[in-house]
Every structure is written in C-alpha cells, then in structure tokens.
Amino acid sequence: MPFKSAASFEVKFLQVLNEKGEVDSKLEPRISGERLKQFYEWMVLARVFDEKAIALQRQGRIGTYASVRGQEACQVGSACLLNDLDWVFPAFRENAALIVRKTPLKNLLLYWGGDERGSVPPLGVRNFPVAIPVSSQIPHAVGAAWACRLRNEKNVSLVYFGDGATSRGDFHEALNFAGVFKIPVIFLCQNNQYAISVPRSRQSAAQTLAQKAVAYGIEGIQVDGNDLLAVYVSVQEALERARAGKGPTLIECFTYRLGDHTTSDDAKRYRTESEVEEWKKKDPLARFELYLASKKLFSKEYQSEVLERAQALVDQAVQEYESVPLPAVSDLFNYVAAQLDANVSMQKARYLEGVGAQDVVPVTPVVAPLVKGPANQSSKPGKKRVSLEGSSKADEVPDF
Ligand SMILES: Cc1ncc(C[n+]2csc(CCOP(=O)(O)OP(=O)(O)O)c2C)c(N)n1
Ligand SMILES: [Mg+2]
C-alpha cells in the first residue's frame, strides 16, 4: 500500500574529542586554558573523592556509596555551564556535578554517612538533595523550571538521571509536560549501559534513548559522554534554547559506569572483564589529558600536583566529616513539619522523657554486627555513624 510519510526524524550524535584525544576543530568550543584546567581538576577531585569514599565504606565509616567513576565528563562538562541560580536535580551518582556546584566534600561524606545535614546546599546555590527513588527528580526539575518561567527569571533546571530512569512513568510525564509548555529544562541522561544488572538492551527496544525526545516534540541528541567537550557543546546549546524560551532538550550521554553500581553490588556477576577493559580505554580523564597536552597545558608535574592537591582536600574533608557532632534525635521531630500535630508532639515528649539529657543518635556500627545491650554503651561518638535505634540485624544497612 502506498503510504505517505507522517513524520521523519534523525538522531544526531556529537563527538568533539575522539578516543585518541584528537579534536574536531570545526566543533571545538572556545574555552580558556585556565577554565580547561579547572575542568580537569574537578574531574580528578571527583575521582579521588570516589576512591576514598569506597574505601571509607569498606571500613564502615560511611554507608552505601554510588561511584561516579567513568562519568566525570558527563557531569563536569554540564554542571560547569550553569549559574548558581539555575536549578540542579541530582540522582544519586552525581558527586562530580555536586563538586562543581560548590558542595563541600564534607557534606557529600555526611550525606553518604547517613546524615541528612549533608544535603543542605551551599548558600545561594540551587541544588536539590540527592534523589534515591529512580526518576522521581525529573518532574521536580520541570516544576522548578516552570516556576522560574512564571516568575520571569531566566534560570533553568538541569536534571541528571540514568538509562534505567527512562523506563519510568515520571520520565515520560515530565518530558511530555515540558514539551507542551516549553519549559526551560535540560534532561541529562547518563546512559552508562546498566541499571544495576539490567543492560541497556533490556531497558528499551529503541535504538537510542535520545530519540525519546521525538515523541514529546522536543530536541534530543546523543553525545559521547566520555568526551567533556561534546557534553559541553550540547549543554551550551540546550541552555541557549531554554533561556530563549524555545523549550527543553534531552541529552543522552553515551558513557559507562566503570565501577560497581554501588558498594553493595558486584558487577563481575553480570558483565565481562573484557567489556570493562574496552571502556577503560575510553576513560574521560585520560582523553582530556591528551587534549590538554595538545594545547601545552599538561605535564607530568602538573598531573602530580593536581593529584596531590585533590588528595589533601579529600583527606581534610574526611577529618571534618568525622569531627561533626552527631545530630540530636529530636531533630527527627523538629524538622518534619512546621507545627507538630498532637500525636507527634506526644511521641517527642515521651522520647525526650526517656532519654533525659542524652538526646544524641545512638551510635552503632554501620556494617559490623550490632552488639546487644543498651545503645551508646561502648561506642565512641563520632567514629561510626548511621543506623538508628531499632535496627536489629547486621545487614540492615540502608541500601538502594
Ligand atoms: C523507584 C525505584 N525503583 C527501584 C530502585 C532501585 N534502584 C536503585 S538504582 C537502580 C537502577 C538505576 O539505573 P539508572 O537509572 O540507569 O542509573 P545508574 O544507577 O546506572 O546511574 C534501581 C533499580 C529505586 N532506587 N527506586
Ligand atoms: Mg544506568
């Protein structure tokens, strides 16, 4: 039967810096040498932080942690373009983006140590707290961007999420709404090829995730997520579009999670070593080093100096984190509602009666088995955090 075409589309792919570190000069963005070095230093800091966080988890000094290794270019190349009054909505793997967004490393550790005070954003920087429920942050980002538009602000939202999040309803509702109302939002999907153990091929039968934009009448592009410059160029364009009132963009950053899903995962059980080795060759940091070297901005001395500086910052943050006094348990009551209802007020009064002057979180080990007996008996406050009274099993570590 002779059909006419109802619609046609193509999905563009952008790479500016290839795996050998060669740049396509027609696509290369103009960025000063100082700024390029800053991008590199952020990526190194994120990686050093990541390694330390995994070690701290293994020692029971923080809780479950989600590694950003391999995805640094996606995050640094995007977050670096926003101003403080743009909104950022992280999922749970956005440690590099949050570093760029001025989050003290101590706060990241507090968060991963189970202390919500780590979620308080730096003053004047619009960062939302980490979202553990997959894709729940995507409609929130649309709402915040819509509010900006209603207030005639030129600010936008940028929301991070993974390939797995694109299978959830929130993603589709958010894109649909943003498309219809031309909301200034950037949907930044880090397609790291897995949602825990579920490979990308089982996530969607679509050839690309970027093409999902087509269904919602918005711009979509796939970029090499291990190429900081490609991420940068695509986000810059999306920002211009959003600020000019031309609506949202979906950017699929094609990348790879080099580590386990979280410290509770063992990726060897569902992916091969050879696959990981292939992706290691595309490491975003190594590629950016080659680029800096081609611009005479890189040397072995500079590399060691950046690494040492990052290690010192991370070590200092660990010290700061471990000397933060534990929160009062009554904070649980104090910050839940503006005014406590009668039931909760009664619970608070009873709790305070029971603990007398010791209104601190009972200290129990994060991973080691709990010792039976009164809380707080022999543990040193400030050494081990997490886990509230009532946890009874050793493996009741918060997980996601
Ligand atoms: C609503 C919801 N369902 C399930 C989970 C458990 N869970 C945590 S992370 C994850 C996979 C997420 O994959 P993806 O969106 O690709 O992000 P990535 O972890 O790869 O960064 C799942 C299923 C959750 N946190 N929230
Ligand atoms: Mg994923």
Overall average pLDDT of the 72-92 stretch: 98
Average pLDDT over residues 96-121: 97
pLDDT score for 364: 54
Segment 166-216, tens digit of pLDDT: 999 999 999 999 999 999 999 999 999 999 999 999 999 999 999 999 999
Residue 127: pLDDT band with limits 50, 70, 90: very high
Which residue, chain included where needed, has tokens 């590694």? 67
Alpha carbon distance 108, 15 (integer Å): 31
Question: Does residue 162 line the site of ligand 1, with CB under 6 A?
Answer: yes
Q: What is the pTM of this model?
A: 0.90
pLDDT, tens digit (0-9, with 9 covering 90-100), for 17-55? 999 999 999 999 999 999 999 999 999 999 999 999 999
44: DSSP letter: H
**C-alpha to C-alpha distance for 129 and 356, rounded to whole angstroms:** 32
CA 273 to chain centre: 25
Q: Find the helix or strand (DSSP H, E) in which 221 lies.
A: strand 219-224
Q: Mean pLDDT across the chain, nearest whole number?
A: 91
Give me the pLDDT at residue 239, please: 98
Question: Would you state the pLDDT for residue 336?
Answer: 76
Using alpha carbons, list the distances in angstroms from residue 181 to 140, 146, 147, 156, 269. Answer: 15, 8, 12, 14, 44
What is the predicted pLDDT for the residue at 331? 83
Section 365-381 average pLDDT? 42
Encode pLDDT of 287-313 as tens digits.
Answer: 999 999 999 999 999 999 999 999 999
For residue 267 and ligand 1, the question of a CB distance below 6 A is answered with: no
Task: Taking the CA atoms of 139, 144, 149 and 155 in sequence, report the sign of the dihedral they define.
Answer: negative
Q: How many Å is the Cα radius of gyration of the chain?
A: 23
Q: Answer yes or no: is the C-beta of 196 below 6 A from any ligand 1 atom.
A: yes
Mean pLDDT score, 151-155 = 96
What's the mean pLDDT in 314-336? 90
Given this model, what pLDDT does residue 111 score? 98
Q: Is 188 helix (H, G, I), strand (E, B) or coil?
A: strand
One of 47, 93, 261, 287 is an active-site residue; which one? 261
- pLDDT classification of 97: cutoffs 50, 70, 90: very high
Give the DSSP H/E element, type plus range, for residue 190.
strand 185-191
Quote the CA–CA distance of 328 and 105 in Å, as a whole number.
22
What pLDDT is stored for residue 400 in this prediction?
63
Task: Give the Å distance between the CA of 312 and the centre of ligand 2.
Answer: 31
What is 12-322's CATH superfamily?
A: Thiamin diphosphate (ThDP)-binding fold, Pyr/PP domains (3.40.50.970)
Taking the centre of ligand 1 as the mean of its atom positions, its distance from the CA of residue 50, in whole angstroms, is 19
Domain boundaries, the chain: 12-322
Nearest-angstrom CA–CA distance, 396 and 49: 25
Coil vs helix vs strand at 267: helix
* Phi, psi torsion values for 165, nearest 5 degrees: -65, -25
User: Residue 275 and residue 270: Cα distance in Å, rounded?
Assistant: 11
Calculate mean pLDDT across residues 361-377: 47
**pLDDT at residue number 326:** 86
- Ligand 1 atom with the shortest distance to the CA of 93: 21
3-state secondary structure 224-245: ECCCHHHHHHHHHHHHHHHHCC
Contact residues for 175 (Cβ-Cβ < 8 A; gap 6+): 138, 187, 212, 213, 215, 216, 218, 248, 250
> For the chain, where are the alpha helices, taking DSSP H only?
33-58, 72-79, 95-100, 105-112, 137-150, 169-180, 200-203, 212-215, 228-243, 273-280, 284-294, 300-322, 331-334, 342-355
Q: Is the CB of 192 under 6 A from ligand 1?
A: yes
Q: Give residue 391's pLDDT.
A: 38
**So what's the pLDDT on residue 96?**
98
